[in-house]
Structure 1
Amino acid sequence: MSRSTTAPLPVAADDLEQAIRRAVTTLREAPATAWDRKAGSLEWDCWETVEHLSDDLFAYAAQLGPRTPPLEGEVPFVWESRRPGGPANVVHADRASGPAGLLQVLEASGALLVAMVRTTPSRVRAYHVFGVSDPEGFAAMGIVETLVHTHDLAEGLGLVWTPPADLCARVLARLFPDAPSATDPWPTLLWATGRAELPGHPRLTTWRWDGTPRSTQR
């Protein structure tokens, strides 16, 4: 299905919660011995990629957390990599907890962002390197991170992952307004994040979304 030409519904906390729940449900099907495999086209293994995703969700929640959210930079946590070339995170899961503990870390980080999106007034703005954004924007960013990194993980873990088309369409409208609209939303989201080709559109080697608020354009 192509994207609708009608105005899309806003991205909401419930959408983010759905994305995280679907991702965790899918990832629970992975063999316990598979987590050291490379995650799709990434240079990280699957365990590191879940830590990175968890860290993204945590960091977005943290940006919305201060009474006066920062507009010039990120909340100054210390991000550290556990190995050369690994992701630099605040969030790391205890390896002794196994895959079940790793996914619990993902659920917990996601729940923090869901809660912040639900409780932060829509007028609030906070810094992101791809544009100062609002709670809806951070929800959409969290969804994109969840959908595409679960795609990376599914490739590495040998799982099937196809998120709902309507959810993909809404985050495309919110963060990638210039993406092709006549193609199916999920392949289009993979194209927009540098993970696939589309007919007439070669795979991107660099990409970014536009997180700036859209409320004044609706």
Structure 2
Amino acid sequence: MGDGDSTVDGEDVRQVVALAVETLRRAASRDWEAAAGPLDWTCWETLEHLADDLFTYAARFGLATPPLSSLLPFRTSSDRSGGPANVFFVERAAGPEGLLTVVEACGGLLASVLRTAPSTTVAHHVFGPSDPEGFAAMAVVETVVHTQDIAEGLGLEWSPPQELCERVLKRLFPHVVSEPDLDGDAWQTLLWATGRIALPGRPRLTEWRWYGTRGA
């Protein structure tokens, strides 16, 4: 994948969320209670989880000095046993269109916050503290991968921009990019790196992580 630019920012988040919403809107009338790809969550729950991720990422950078060793003290809950634990839930009566609106709003909120956050700001994440650029890359990965999960469940085709996949791989998955035999399709590599698919000669991962801390 070369040694090109790995910079990711809030506008990348805004654009990829818009692409995801545009894709998923095509299936607004389908069964959103279907399983989302390999997950134990439904398509609705998975997209709600994505909205929650985008919102809580943004909340970290609303603070002048975000905590480095803990999450913000939001109260989380699940709608059902085995479902995602979220800070908020979307009104079911609003339907998929309402859920997509919330996702777009949370993506726009994160994009705006990241644009104004000092580049030196560092905030907590379970995979290690990271800066605004790292959180932008995390948000892109969450968006493209969970959109793939949902697209599988709803019978849609989804393929995010290759160039963006290359940049988030370089920013968050240096251990993957450094392997010469994975120098191929960036989207397929990202799906493999996040435990979604197998690649030739490489079984599907059952454990995986990214590295958001600079120099990790």
TM, length-normalised to structure 1: 0.94
Q: Does 1:157 align with 2:154?
A: yes
Give me the whole-angstrom Cα distance separating, in 2, the residues matched to 1:51 and 1:70.
25
The one of 137, 140, 159 aligned to 2:137: 140
Give me the whole-angstrom Cα distance separating, in 2, the residues matched to 1:16 and 1:109.
10
Partner of 1:196: 197
Partner of 2:208: 207
| 1:97 shift after superposition | 0.6
Give me the whole-angstrom Cα distance separating, in 1, the residues matched to 2:142 and 2:79.
21
Q: Does 1:123 align with 2:124?
A: no
Give me the whole-angstrom Cα distance separating, in 2, the residues matched to 1:28 and 1:107.
12
User: Is contact 2:30–2:154 with CA below 8 Å preserved after alignment?
Assistant: no
Partner of 1:41: 38
Identity between Structure 1 and Structure 2 (%): 57
Give me the whole-angstrom Cα distance separating, in 1, the residues matched to 2:149 and 2:160.
13
| 1:31 shift after superposition | 4.1
TM, length-normalised to structure 2: 0.95
**Deviation digits for residues 35-59 of structure 1 (CA, Å, limit 9, x no counterpart):** 1111000011111111000011111
Partner of 1:24: 21
Runs (4 or more) in structure 1 with deviation over 6 Å come to none
Give me the whole-angstrom Cα distance separating, in 2, the residues matched to 1:76 and 1:128.
14
Give me the whole-angstrom Cα distance separating, in 2, the residues matched to 1:72 and 1:9.
26
- Runs (5+) with no aligned partner, structure 1: none
How many residue pairs end up in the alignment?
212
Partner of 1:82: 79
User: Is contact 2:123–2:130 with CA below 8 Å preserved after alignment?
Assistant: yes
Give me the whole-angstrom Cα distance separating, in 1, the residues matched to 2:64 and 2:121.
10
Q: Does 1:105 align with 2:102?
A: yes
Give me the whole-angstrom Cα distance separating, in 1, the residues matched to 2:30 and 2:185.
34
